[in-house]
């Protein structure tokens, strides 16, 4: 079986969560490389697939062994190791949302 090593995978979905397709792009193994790898596909999705919604489309990246290693936020501000609370939150686990604490404002 072919392993997809060092790639970013975007699961393209519409506003209702209906799967529209999948985009796979190679990356260089760095966080910056992961973000850069999805820039062109993200633009193409927005232009060619008007029903596409970035907030509904999960994004992950694999490592050099082909294992899913990172969860990527839709706005690319966060890249988190899979298995962490941050990765679960990025992929939509609302139980991990932390309430605002007025002492930190």
**Average pLDDT, integer, range 52-80:** 87
Model pTM score: 0.78
The two most distant CA atoms of the chain are separated, in Å, by 52
**102 pLDDT above the threshold of 60:** no
Domain assignment present for residue 75? The answer is: yes
Extract the tokens encoding 79. Answer: 């890249």
Q: Please count the structural domains in the chain.
A: 1
> What residues make up the domain containing 41?
7-94
pLDDT tens readout for residues 23-40: 889 999 999 999 888 777
Domain assignment present for residue 2? The answer is: no
Phi, psi of 41 (to 5 degrees): -60, -35
Domain assignment present for residue 99? The answer is: no
Tell me the sheet residues that pair with 52. 14
Domain assignment present for residue 53? The answer is: yes
Is 101 or 67 the better-scoring residue by pLDDT? Answer: 67
H or E element in which residue 49 lies: none
**69 pLDDT above the threshold of 60:** yes
pLDDT tens readout for residues 81-92: 999 999 998 888
Domain assignment present for residue 85? The answer is: yes
């Amino acid at each position: 079986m072919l392993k997809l090593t060092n790639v970013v995978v975007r699961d393209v979905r519409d506003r209702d969560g209906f799967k529209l397709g999948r985009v796979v792009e190679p990356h260089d193994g760095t966080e910056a490389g992961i973000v850069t790898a999805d820039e062109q596909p993200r633009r193409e999705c927005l232009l060619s697939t008007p029903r596409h919604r970035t907030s509904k489309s999960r994004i992950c990246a694999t490592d050099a062994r082909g294992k899913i290693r990172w969860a990527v936020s839709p706005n690319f501000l966060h890249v988190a190791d899979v298995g962490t609370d941050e990765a679960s939150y990025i992929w939509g686990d609302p139980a991990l949302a932390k309430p605002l604490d007025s002492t930190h404002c």
